Amino acid sequence: MFTRILSVPVSLVPLLFPFALIHGAKRYAWNGIVVFVVFTFIISNILENLSILTGVPFGHYYYTDSLGPKLALVPIFIALSYVSFGYLAWVLSTVVVSEVRRRSSVLTAVAIPLVASFIMVPWDISLDPIASTINPRLDLDTRRRILRRANLQLPRLVFHRVHLLPAFRDLPKAAWVG
C-alpha cells in the first residue's frame, strides 16, 4: 500500500500519536492535550480541504485513497500526523525557548509557536515531494529520462543523492509559503 520511502514517516505516526496523547496528558493534563488534538485536527483539516478546493494556502493537490478513510477530501491519517508531529514540534520548541506558563512573557508566548512552526516546515517540505512526485519503483534509466525531459542533467555518480531536486522544483510555490 505505501511505498518504501513513505514507510518510515507513515510508520512513525501510529507511534507518535499515542506518545503525544500520553506525554501531553502528563505534561498538560488530559483536558489540555484534548484541546490541542481537537484544535489541530479541525484547523489542519480545514486548511487542507481549503487548499484542495481553492489552492490556498498550500497549492493545488489531492490525496489518493491509499492513506485510508477521509474526512471530506483529506485522509484522517493526515490530521493524525499533524497532531503527532505538531506536538513533537511544540515540545522541541519548549526545549529550545522555554516552557510556557500562565505568567510567561509575551516574547515566550510568541516564540514557542514560532519556533514550533519552523520545526514543522522542514518536516512538511521533506515529505511533500516524496509523497507527490517520486516513485521509487522507477529504475535508474527511467528517472534519468524524466530528468532529461525536465532539462536537468546530473552527473551519474551523484544521481542517487540529488534525485529529489525535480520534486522540490515541482512543488507549488504556495507550498513553500504555506
pLDDT tens column, 33-54: 999 999 999 999 999 889 888 8
CA distance 169 to 164: 9
Over 70: is that where the pLDDT of 171 sits? no
Q: For 120-169, write each residue's pLDDT tens digit.
A: 888 877 776 666 554 555 555 555 555 555 444 444 433 333 344 444 45
Give the pLDDT confidence of 83-110 residue by residue, as tens digits: 999 999 999 999 999 887 778 888 988 9
Locate cell 503527532: which residue?
84
- Look up residue 121 and give its DSSP letter: H
Sign for the pseudo-dihedral over CA of 23, 25, 27, 32: positive
Q: List the chain domain ranges.
A: 4-177
Write down the residue that cell numbers 507518535 correspond to. 16
Q: Is the pTM of this model over 0.75?
A: no
